Amino acid sequence: MKVAVLDINGKDTGRKAELSKAVFEIEPNNHAVYLDVKQYLANQRQGTHKSKERAEIVGSTRKIKKQKGTGTARAGSIKSGIFKGGGRIFGPRPRNYGFKLNKNVKRLARKSALSIKANEKSIVVLEDFNFDAPKTKSFTDLLSALGIADKKSLIVLGGPNNNVYLSSRNFKGSEVITNTELSTYKIMNANKLVVVESALEGIESNLSK
């Protein structure tokens, strides 16, 4: 698949970028995409939720009423969860929500996500660029030139670029990452995927193994 290469003004440079068939034109595996996105979201959960159970409540251990003859259920402790101020019954405990996913499944998921975006014609290839200084306006002009100012976008760079990254930090709907940080969730969460030329080779070499 060939895609036109644009400059930072949104103009066609006259060059074409060749997208690898092994990465951008496979039959998408929706279940692999689901599993990888599920793992990503699970790993974002802190799992620090905690409530006190009856053994952790400070309170009297006196038996609050006699065992029999009251006409009500027996009760042995004021710390029981059925009383106000008692412990929580089956409350949340700290836990790790993460789970293991085979690296081949993760690789298949990323290739499937890229193929879905390529099929939707949601991938834009941009020539390598840089900003002279971190400026939000420079990044705003770039998004406007590409026609994605009002869309959720993911810009993939070939390597770390501090000026571009700092220029994009004020935008909730746009994120700048390097090709090594690419994930299935971020690909699927974006309406437009903007890939600079230098990032294409890294993406294809990482996913063609």
Contact (CB, 8 A) for 17 and 53: no
Secondary structure (DSSP) of 127-146: -----SS--HHHHHHHHHHH
For the beta sheet containing 153-157, the strands, ordered from the edge strand earlier in sequence to the opposite edge, are: 12-18, 2-6, 123-126, 192-196, 153-157, 174-178
pTM: 0.84
135-184 confidence digits (pLDDT tens): 999 999 999 999 998 899 999 999 899 999 999 998 888 999 999 999 99
CA–CA gap between residue 166 and residue 63 (Å, rounded): 64
Given a cut of 80, is residue 8 above it in pLDDT? yes
Q: How far is CA 141 from the centre of its chain?
A: 26
Domain annotation for the chain: domains and CATH numbers: 2-45+97-207 (3.40.1370.10), 51-91 (no CATH)
Contact (CB, 8 A) for 46 and 52: no
User: 157, 147, 150: which is closest to 172 by C-alpha?
Assistant: 150
